[in-house]
C-alpha cells in the first residue's frame, strides 16, 4: 500500500507515514507505520527486480520506446522500455504493466553511439521490430547507426506540423503576444480571473489547445454580453481574431481526436481511414496544410511495416513515467539524478502484489548500491555534500 500511495497517488515518501497514522486513528486498523526510509528502499528493490536478463527478450518480438529527460542538475536520464509486440492490441492503450524496463541510466549528455551501445548490451536487435520516439537528433542518429526502424511519435509529430504551419503566421503571433501580455499584467489586478492559461516555452506547440479553448470561451462571453465594460476592455482583442481562433480550435479538436484514436487503436489501414474521415471536416486553408502533412505521415509510417500490423505510434506512456518521477523528486530538484529514478522501473509492476513480495525478499540493499554505481554514478547531492564536508 505504501508503494501504491507513492506511484499512484503521488504521495511523498514522508507523507506515506502520515497517511498510515491517519488510517490507524480513523479506522482503528493498528497497521505498522513504515518510515520514509523503508518506503524508499522498497521502491528501489522493486525497481531493481523489474529489470530482465538479455535472454528474457529472445522469445518473441519487441517494440522499444526511447526518451531522455530534460536536464536534472548536470545530468540527463536515458530511459528505454520494451513492449511485447503481441501485446499491442486494438482497443487498448498501453499501461504501465505492459512495459518492461530495459535501460535507466544517467549521463552528462547522450550521444548516438552511446545510446546504441546501451541498447545492444541489453537486447539482441534482431528481436526488435521497431522503436517509437520523438525526433531528437541523438536518438535519430542511434537508429541510423543500429539500423533500428523508427516510428515517429504522433504527439511530437503533430506539434511539429502545427509549428511549420503557424509559427510565422501573423494571426498566431498576434494572438499569442496578446495572451502573453495579459499573463504579465493581470495576476495582481482585479481582473486576475481573466488570465489565459500558461504557455510552455519549451515545446509550446504541444499544448495549444488550452489557449484556443480560452479564446473560444471569451468569445462566447462577449457574444452573450456576460462581461462588464472593464472586462471587455481587457479581453476585447479576441474579436479581431475570431475566425482564426474558431478555425484553429476546431483543427486542434480534430487532431486531438485523431491522436486519441491512434493511442487506443494504434495505426493500421483501418484506423487510418477512420482518422481521414475526421480530418475531412477541416476546410480552412491553414487546417488543410496540416491535414496534408498528417496524411503523408500515415502513408510514410504504414509503408514501413507489413499491412496487417497494428503499429504503436505513441510514446505517451514513457512521458507519463517521467512525469511520475518528477512528482517524486519535485520537492528537491537540486539533488540531480539519483537512484530514485528506479521509481520509473517500479511503476511497471506495483499492481502485482505477489511479485512485490518476492522482490522485497530477494533483492538486497547491496544490489541497489551496485546498480547506482553502474548507472547513476556520483549524484549532484553527493558531490555537494563531499565538497562541504571539507569545511565541517
Counting residues of the chain whose pLDDT is more than 70, the rounded percentage is 96
Please tell me the predicted confidence (pLDDT) of residue 350: 62
Q: Which residue has the higher pLDDT, 71 or 314?
A: 314
Domains of the chain: 49-153+315-391 (3.30.420), 157-302 (no CATH)
Q: How many helices and strands (H and E) does the chain possess?
A: 17, 5
Starting at the earlier edge strand, list the strands of the sheet with 150-152. Answer: 99-107, 76-84, 62-68, 128-133, 150-152
Which three cell numbers, joined as nine digits, stand for 281?
471536416
Q: Distances in Å between the alpha carbon of 288 and those of 62, 270, 282, 285, 304?
A: 36, 22, 6, 5, 25
H or E element: which one contains 79?
strand 76-84
The residue among 323, 366, 313, 316 whose CA lies nearest residue 77 is 323
The answer to whether 350 touches 1, Cβ cutoff 8 Å, is no
Which three cell numbers, joined as nine digits, stand for 9?
497517488
The answer to whether 319 touches 132, Cβ cutoff 8 Å, is no
User: In the predicted model, is pLDDT for residue 314 greater than 90?
Assistant: yes
Please tell me the predicted confidence (pLDDT) of residue 324: 83
Please give the average per-residue pLDDT across 216-244, as a whole number: 96
The gap between the terminal CA atoms of the chain, to the nearest Å, is 40
Reported in sequence order, the residue ranges of 249-375 that DSSP labels E, i.e. its strands, are none
Assign 99 to helix, strand or coil.
strand
Mean pLDDT, all residues of the chain: 91
Choose the weakest-confidence range: 209-223, 286-300, 320-334, 346-360.
320-334
Handedness of CA 280, 285, 287, 289 (dihedral sign): positive
User: In the predicted model, is pLDDT for residue 258 greater than 70?
Assistant: yes
Please tell me the predicted confidence (pLDDT) of residue 41: 94
Q: Which residue has the higher pLDDT, 227 or 389?
A: 227
Predicted confidence band at 387 (pLDDT cuts at 50, 70, 90)? confident
User: In the predicted model, is pLDDT for residue 333 greater than 60?
Assistant: no
Question: From CA 75, how far away is CA 164, in angstroms rounded?
Answer: 31
Please tell me the predicted confidence (pLDDT) of residue 351: 64
Predicted confidence band at 334 (pLDDT cuts at 50, 70, 90)? low
Q: Which residue has the higher pLDDT, 3 or 90?
A: 3
Please tell me the predicted confidence (pLDDT) of residue 204: 79
The predicted-structure confidence for 273-311, as pLDDT tens digits, reads as follows 999 999 999 999 999 999 999 999 999 999 999 887 899
Q: How crowded is residue 308: how many other Cβ atoms within 10 Å of its Cβ?
A: 7
Q: HSE of 243 in the Cβ direction (CA atoms, 13 Å)?
A: 6
Q: Give the CA radius of gyration of the chain.
A: 24
Choose the weakest-confidence range: 130-139, 339-348, 381-390.
381-390
Amino acid at each position: 500500500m505504501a508503494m501504491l500511495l507513492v506511484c499512484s497517488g503521488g504521495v511523498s515518501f514522508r507523507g506515506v507515514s502520515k497517511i498510515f497514522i491517519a488510517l490507524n486513528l480513523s479506522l482503528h486498523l493498528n497497521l505498522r507505520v513504515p518510515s520514509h526510509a523503508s518506503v524508499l528502499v522498497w521502491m528501489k528493490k522493486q525497481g531493481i527486480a523489474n529489470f530482465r536478463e538479455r535472454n528474457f527478450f529472445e522469445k518473441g518480438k519487441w517494440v522499444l520506446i526511447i526518451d531522455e529527460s530534460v536536464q536534472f542538475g548536470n545530468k540527463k536520464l536515458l530511459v528505454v522500455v520494451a513492449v511485447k509486440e503481441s501485446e499491442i492490441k486494438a482497443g487498448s492503450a498501453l499501461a504501465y504493466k505492459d512495459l518492461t524496463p530495459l535501460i535507466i541510466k544517467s549521463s552528462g549528455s547522450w550521444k548516438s553511439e552511446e545510446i546504441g551501445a546501451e541498447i545492444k548490451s541489453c537486447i539482441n536487435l534482431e528481436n526488435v521490430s521497431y522503436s517509437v520516439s520523438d525526433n531528437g537528433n541523438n536518438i535519430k542518429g542511434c537508429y541510423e547507426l543500429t539500423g533500428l526502424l523508427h516510428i515517429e511519435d504522433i504527439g511530437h509529430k503533430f506539434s511539429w506540423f502545427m509549428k511549420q504551419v503557424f509559427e510565422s503566421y501573423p494571426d498566431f503571433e498576434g494572438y499569442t503576444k496578446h495572451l502573453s501580455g495579459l499573463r504579465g499584467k493581470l495576476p495582481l489586478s482585479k481582473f486576475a480571473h481573466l488570465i489565459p492559461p500558461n504557455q510552455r516555452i519549451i515545446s509550446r506547440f504541444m499544448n495549444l489547445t488550452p489557449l484556443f479553448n480560452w479564446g473560444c470561451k471569451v468569445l462566447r462571453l462577449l457574444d452573450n454580453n456576460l462581461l462588464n465594460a472593464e472586462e471587455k476592455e481587457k479581453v476585447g482583442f479576441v474579436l479581431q481574431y475570431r475566425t482564426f481562433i474558431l478555425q484553429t480550435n476546431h483543427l486542434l479538436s480534430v487532431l486531438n481526436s485523431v491522436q486519441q484514436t491512434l493511442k487506443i487503436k494504434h495505426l493500421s489501414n483501418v484506423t487510418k481511414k477512420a482518422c481521414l474521415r475526421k480530418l475531412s471536416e477541416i476546410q480552412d486553408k491553414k487546417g488543410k496544410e496540416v491535414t496534408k502533412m498528417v496524411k503523408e505521415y500515415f502513408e510514410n509510417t504504414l509503408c514501413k511495416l507489413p499491412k496487417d500490423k497494428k503499429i504503436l505510434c505513441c510514446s505517451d506512456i514513457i512521458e507519463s513515467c517521467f512525469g511520475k518521477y518528477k512528482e517524486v523528486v519535485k520537492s528537491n530538484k537540486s539533488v540531480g539524478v539519483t537512484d530514485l529514478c528506479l521509481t520509473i522501473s517500479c511503476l511497471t509492476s506495483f499492481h502485482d502484489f505477489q511479485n512485490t513480495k518476492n522482490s522485497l525478499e530477494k533483492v538486497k540493499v547491496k544490489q541497489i548500491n551496485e546498480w547506482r554505481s553502474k548507472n547513476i554514478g556520483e549524484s549532484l547531492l553527493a558531490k555537494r555534500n563531499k565538497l562541504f564536508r571539507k569545511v565541517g
